[in-house]
């Protein structure tokens, strides 16, 4: 391979700055994912511009930013041209994006549908490798008073303490509950244990005049609602 093909001239190296200029002059919305990632990376190498490096990384995850966000620092540094500092920058930027989505979800103070529960909880549960069980405590206007992680378990399931759920409901003055947990496997079908705990909580809550409005199963890209499917 010739020298011209394996190195960049100063003019070529300046292309690494173009995404920054493009963002400054035309706004952030016109940049591609690869261009935005190139700004985070900052620079490429003699063989590859930052944009080309970003395209290669994104191609590896099928241009899925959620999949990119799941890569560890150890996995990121396996890409030629990505050292530890750049890997940390990528991880930090994507974590900020995830937290922003979470804050956007928190603006949904009033639960109006199963979709609003999913929008709230997906940033929290959607990409976890293990299962977690959460409870949303609502007032009589269906506004969230509190949301608590009730249990955190292995990929096969979690242990739910009904007494703890109802004790907290009484303490915060909740009149309704929404149950929510994730399926790391991606399946949306409720298991028999999912159905059992739903019925157990519903029956126990009724004795205290507290309603269980729904049980939402969250995956990365979709959800299942017990109420919508009329199996609550």
Q: What is the mean pLDDT of residues 115-130?
A: 90
CA angle, 131 then 132 then 133, to 5°: 130
**How many structural domains does the chain have?**
2
Domain containing residue 146: CATH number: 3.40.140.10
Residue 3 lies in a domain: no
Phi/psi at 78 (nearest 5 deg)?
A: -70, -20
pLDDT of 160 reads 77
122 with 196, same domain?
yes
**Is residue 1 in some structural domain?**
no
Mean pLDDT computed over 60-68: 89
Give the span between the Cα atoms of 110 and 125, in whole angstroms. 19
Where is pLDDT greater, at 46 or 138? 138
**Do 125 and 85 sit in the same domain of this protein?**
no
Q: What is the mean pLDDT of residues 168-180?
A: 93
Q: Tell me which long-range contacts 40-45 makes (C-beta under 8 A, separation of at least 24).
A: 40/86, 40/89, 40/90, 40/93, 41/82, 41/86, 41/89, 41/90, 42/16, 42/86, 42/89, 43/16, 44/16, 44/81, 45/80, 45/81
Shared domain for 62 and 17, answered yes or no, is: yes
Tokens read off for 49: 């511009």
For the stretch 135-160, pLDDT in tens is 999 998 888 888 888 888 754 556 77
Give how far Cα 97 sits from Cα of 90, 105, 109, 139, Å: 11, 13, 20, 30
Same domain, 77 and 117: no
Q: Are 178 and 215 in contact (CB under 8 A)?
A: yes
The Cα-based distances of 23 to 27, 50, 94 in angstroms read 5, 15, 18
Q: Are residues 220 and 128 in the same domain?
A: yes
Q: Is the pLDDT of residue 1 over 90?
A: no
Residues 195 and 150 in one domain: yes
Determine, yes or no, domain membership for 166. Answer: yes
Write out pLDDT tens, residues 191-224. 998 999 999 999 999 999 999 999 999 998 899 9
If asked whether residues 24 and 92 sit together in one domain, one would say: yes
Domain boundary among 103, 132, 148: 103
- 3 state SS of 150: strand
Locate 8 and state its tokens.
Answer: 């960049």
Q: Which of 52, 87, 103 is the last residue of a domain?
A: 103
- Would you say residue 150 lies in a domain? yes
Identify the CA nearest to 91 among candidates 108, 107, 110, 77: 77
Task: Give yes or no: residues 19 and 90 share one domain.
Answer: yes
Q: Is residue 2 part of a domain?
A: no
Smallest CA-to-CA distance from 53 within 30, 35, 66, 32 is with 35
Residues 114 and 153 in one domain: yes
Burial class (CB in 10 A: 0-12, 13-18, 19+), 79: middle
Q: Are residues 74 and 136 both part of a single domain?
A: no
Whether residues 51 and 133 share a domain: the answer is no
Confidence of residue 77 (pLDDT cuts 50, 70, 90): very high
Q: Among 85, 103, 121, which residue terminates a domain?
A: 103
What predicted TM-score, i.e. pTM, was given to this entire model?
A: 0.57
Asked if the structure places residue 183 within a domain, the reply is yes
Instruction: Write phi, then psi, for 133 (nearest 5 degrees).
Output: -120, 125
Whether residues 117 and 206 share a domain: the answer is yes
Q: Answer yes or no: is 230 within a domain.
A: no
Owning domain of residue 164: 110-225
For residue 82, the model assigns a pLDDT of: 93
116 class by beta-carbon count within 10 Å (0-12 exposed, 13-18 middle, 19+ buried): middle
């Amino acid at each position: 391979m010739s020298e011209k093909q394996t190195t960049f001239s100063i003019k070529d190296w300046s292309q690494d700055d173009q995404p920054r200029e493009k963002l400054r002059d035309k706004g952030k919305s016109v940049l591609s994912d690869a261009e935005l990632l190139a700004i985070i990376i900052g620079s490429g190498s003699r063989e590859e511009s930052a944009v080309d490096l970003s395209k290669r990384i994104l191609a590896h995850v099928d241009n899925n930013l959620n999949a990119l966000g799941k890569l560890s620092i150890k996995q990121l540094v396996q890409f030629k041209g990505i050292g530890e500092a750049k890997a940390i920058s990528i991880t930090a930027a994507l974590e900020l994006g995830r937290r922003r989505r979470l804050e956007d979800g928190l603006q949904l103070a009033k639960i109006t549908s199963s979709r609003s529960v999913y929008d709230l909880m997906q940033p929290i549960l959607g990409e976890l490798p293990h299962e977690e069980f959460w409870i949303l405590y609502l007032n009589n206007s269906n506004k969230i008073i509190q949301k608590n992680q009730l249990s955190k378990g292995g990929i096969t399931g979690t242990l739910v303490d009904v007494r703890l759920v109802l004790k907290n409901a009484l303490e915060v003055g909740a009149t309704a509950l929404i149950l929510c947990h994730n399926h790391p496997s991606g399946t949306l079908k409720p298991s028999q244990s999912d159905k059992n705990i739903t019925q157990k909580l519903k029956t126990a809550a009724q004795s205290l005049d507290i309603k269980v409005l729904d049980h939402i199963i969250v995956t990365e890209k979709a959800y299942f609602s017990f109420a919508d499917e009329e199996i609550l």
